[in-house]
Amino acid sequence: MATSLTNIYNFGNLRRFLKIVLTTIALLLIDFSSKAQQTQADSYTRYELLTPSSNAFRIIYDVSATTAGATYYWNTLRKGSEHKVDGVWDAFSGEALKWNIVNGKTAKENGLSNSMDDGEYLQIQLARPVPEEGESRIRIDKTYADAASYFQNDGSIVFSRTLGIKRNSIVLPQGYEVTHCNYPSQVQLTSEGQIKLSFMNDGPQVIPLEIKATPLPSTITTKKPASNGYTFDNTGSGRNKSKVRLGWEFDERAFQNREIVYFLQQPETHSFKLFHDYTETRTGMDRYLNIVRAGSKASDPSAVLLDTGEALKVETLKGEKITEKGIDISSPITSESEVIAIWYDPLKEGETKRLRITETYTDPNRYVLNEDELVWDRSFGRNRNVVILPPGWFLTTNSIPAVIDQTDDGLTALHFVNGRPDTIDVYIKAQRK
């Protein structure tokens, strides 16, 4: 630093000296931030098994880069596999992103502090810097050839691979039936007539997944039946007297990308703050509607477009105001009906938007203080839910299995993962410390 310490007692020089110091510190902090280990969220992988003799499978990987200010994202290319990258897209705009394959040294120089020198990385230039408390969503399409992971054995095909991503699906080649799967999975028939298995990993370990499948007779052509318009009504009348859910369709649970975090306030208030994240994919859609549960009251709503950090317009509508806005809530509108409407620019073809909605709920029917015990009794429909206890309380009861940890400020957090297509009734009790 060129400024002489003997001159800084002059006020003007002191100001210039402090400016130099502060600028130097700022530059060091920026440099440190750019070298920080990258963070990510919402990872989902789809494996499409190709012709068995090729030992190859297509990988479609969705992930959100969450390191604020980051302009690159790095995807590790697994050793032992021959890889070909087919493309990378920005999920917000649908536009292709620039990418190249680099070694660990180059990745480290560009900001990936924990890269391995002998590793290979797909380095992706993001469409925009990751917003503060936002994210940059990308889709990677690549193909691996790996005879150790995908091979033929005694007339069967075997997919045997250790999977660290928490949400996954595997699509069998056309004309194959699944005979073995060592991890609890949903099974669905795709529109192309292929068997798809999917699962959510709710534990801390990687999954040593093994799937086996055999070819069906050549006379059999698997196809997904066309919808016949039947709607299940649970009456047991008409065409479906057995109450079998004919034509019932359910979404792939692992692919669903909705999550919610509840911050319980002191139980005397019956209140809890929450935020929930939602991805809109429908072209032309310009709103998100949150229908407030009967018996609950919502306040202080706000919403952010996570892709850009933009604050969105939010309205709380009740009774006839819902009708005036032309909003359909799929049930009769009464004076007690309440809707929180979040507005945004209509989606263009190829675009998607990720919203984070924040609000406070008051629900004396589901969250109470009973004889000095906190009691939470509420159903969850999403596949990923987190409940955080208020300050000064410790957990004593939890009905649905959850992963338990603590937040940075020492509050107990329960993480619920539901890989099934139904709701879970969560019952929690806590006592004061």
Quick one: which of 374, 359, 392, 354 has its CA closest to 428?
A: 374
* Confidence at residue 238, expressed as pLDDT on a 0 to 100 scale: 62
Average pLDDT, the chain: 87
Number of CB atoms found within 10 A of residue 68's CB: 16
Q: How far apart are CA 91 and CA 293, in angstroms?
A: 31
Q: Cα(176)–Cα(194) distance, rounded to whole angstroms?
A: 8
Mean pLDDT (whole number) for 379-384: 94
pLDDT in tens, 151-192: 999 999 999 999 999 999 999 999 999 999 999 999 999 989
97-118 burial, b if ≥16 CB within 10 A, otherwise e?
bebeebbbeebbebbbeebeee
Poorest-confidence range of 2-11, 24-33, 364-373, 380-389? 2-11
Q: CB count, 10 Å around CB of 244? A: 10
Q: Has residue 379 got a pLDDT over 80?
A: yes
**pLDDT tens digit string along 46-67?**
999 999 999 999 999 999 999 9
pLDDT at residue number 307? 97
- pLDDT tens, residue by residue, 188-245: 999 899 999 999 998 899 999 999 999 999 888 887 777 666 666 666 666 656 677 7
Residue 79: pLDDT band by 50, 70, 90 thresholds? Answer: confident
This prediction's pTM: 0.85
For 355, other C-beta atoms within 10 Å of its C-beta total 18
User: Concatenated DSSP letters for 60-106?
Assistant: EEEEEE-STT--EEEEEEPTTSEEEEEEEEETTT--B--EEEEEHHH
pLDDT at 25 over 60: no
Smallest CA-to-CA distance from 392 within 268, 237, 300, 309 is with 268
Looking at residue 234, what is its pLDDT? 66
Using pLDDT thresholds of 50, 70 and 90, give the confidence band for residue 411: very high
How high is the pLDDT of residue 31? 43
Give SS3 for 324. helix
Task: Find, among 371, 375, 401, the residue nearest to 390 by Cα.
Answer: 375
Cα separation, 149 vs 166, whole angstroms: 18
pLDDT at position 26: 41
If you average pLDDT over residues 391-398, what whole number do you get? 98
Q: For 117-144, how does the pLDDT look when each residue is reduced to its tens digit (9 = 90+)? A: 889 999 999 999 999 999 999 999 999 9
